[in-house]
Amino acid sequence: MGIFDFLTGEFIDVIHWVDDTRDTLVWRFEREGHEIKYGAKLTVREGQAAVFVHEGQLADVFTPGLYMLETNNMPVMTTLQHWDHGFKSPFKSEIYYVNTTRFADLKWGTKNPIMARDPEFGPVRLRAYGTYAIRVVDPARFLTEIVGTDGEFTMDEISYQIRNIIVQEFSRVIASSGIPVLDMAANTADLGKLVAAEISGTLAEYGLSIPELYIENISLPPAVEAAMDKRTSMGIVGDLGAYTQFSAAEAMTAAAQTPNSGMGAGLGMGMGMAMAQQMAAQNAQPQVGPWGAAPAAAPAPQAAAAPPPPPPLEHVWHIAENGATKGPFSKAALGRMATAGEITRETHVWTAGQDGWKHAEDVAELAQLFTILPPPPPGI
């Protein structure tokens, strides 16, 4: 074997990368001195791209396939190495393998609540979380913008930045969507697509794309959810009076069935006395003989009076003057202020449940404060 054969055997002939970490985005092919033999075989598998960096300058990007590193396959490197003049010695370059597969099931979520204005509940605080997928679509840009000279770049090194971008755009989309909180669960798919579209431009500058973004849940604070649960329970119960009677009867039945229970004995005695009184009332009615007249019909029991409706909820109002708010004021207080000239028809007012600030004359409940005039004083 000649000296030339010995020297050429010192250089690598096959370049490839097999990834089994499931979180590596970029891996640099390590070779002492970065010396690569001219004519070596480069293997790029599906879901990969190979980026050549020669003397600090990005040279070539190879897509999946098998390549012979020579003049025909490396036009940029040929120009840099002057191979067109027949010089085919080993060259020193860095080879970065970029994983172009889809990284799925990545988590995102809001660290702090998002303030939004709900058409029904007014100002609310929302939290949300979900998953997303990321993919490298421009290996060269991703290498120059994000990776730099990092020999092994993992998904954890950029996931925090991507989560911040998602939360920022999600907050803006939710705040401007105008979708009521109770209807957001039915629109999570559309919201996810809208957020993904909004952040795609920013990620494109990094050489990335976000093919999927899912919103798993949008929730309110625990205190608000508890209040909504109570409201739902009241709607399911319906007639509170009938439900109270039913609950009392259930409690009496359960207590009567409890052995050696003083409450059960007392309830049993009470039920026995009630039955005895009912039987005595029946025996006190006159008996009708075969020739006697039919007894008068017993008066029909009167229906229980329906409970009065709850009193109407009185609104309280806030006033906006000179960039500041005052209040809350009751309607009676606003009436006195209107009489004293402290508020006018053009005064901006707001109350809970109202969609934004309105002029006082545009609110039906307050418009009458400016139309009713007091009677003339006595003695005129």
Average pLDDT, the chain: 77
Task: Convert the pLDDT of each residue in 200-246 to its tens digit.
Answer: 999 999 999 999 999 999 888 888 878 777 777 777 766 667 767 76
Same domain, 82 and 176: no
Q: Which of 171, 192, 224 is the last residue of a domain?
A: 224
Q: Indicate the burial class of 239 (C-beta count within 10 angstroms; 0-12, 13-18, 19 or more).
A: exposed
* Stretches in the chain below the pLDDT threshold 50: 1-11, 80, 82-87, 290-291
Q: Are the C-beta atoms of residues 360 and 346 closer than 8 Å to each other? A: yes
Provide the residue type at 9 as one letter: G
Q: Which of 77, 99, 121 is the last residue of a domain?
A: 99
Q: Are the C-beta atoms of residues 329 and 337 closer than 8 Å to each other? A: yes
* pLDDT at position 212: 92
Task: Convert the pLDDT of each residue in 9-26 to its tens digit.
Answer: 444 568 889 988 888 999
Q: Are the C-beta atoms of residues 97 and 50 closer than 8 Å to each other? A: yes
Residue 148, domain extent: 103-224
Residue 76 lies in a domain: yes
Same domain, 161 and 217: yes
* pLDDT at position 8: 45
Rounded distance between C-alpha atoms, residue 327 and residue 92, angstroms: 75
DSSP 143: I
Residue 323 Rama label (left phi>0; alpha psi -120 to 50; beta): left
Rounded distance between C-alpha atoms, residue 380 and residue 374, angstroms: 14
Task: Convert the pLDDT of each residue in 36-61 to its tens digit.
Answer: 777 778 899 999 999 988 777 888 89
Q: Are the C-beta atoms of residues 200 and 210 closer than 8 Å to each other? A: yes
Q: How far is CA 299 from CA 295, 296, 302, in A?
A: 12, 9, 9
Q: Are the C-beta atoms of residues 15 and 95 closer than 8 Å to each other? A: yes
Residue 332 lies in a domain: yes
Rounded distance between C-alpha atoms, residue 71 and residue 84, angstroms: 7
Same domain, 220 and 324: no
* pLDDT at position 328: 85
Residue 356 lies in a domain: yes
* pLDDT at position 377: 66
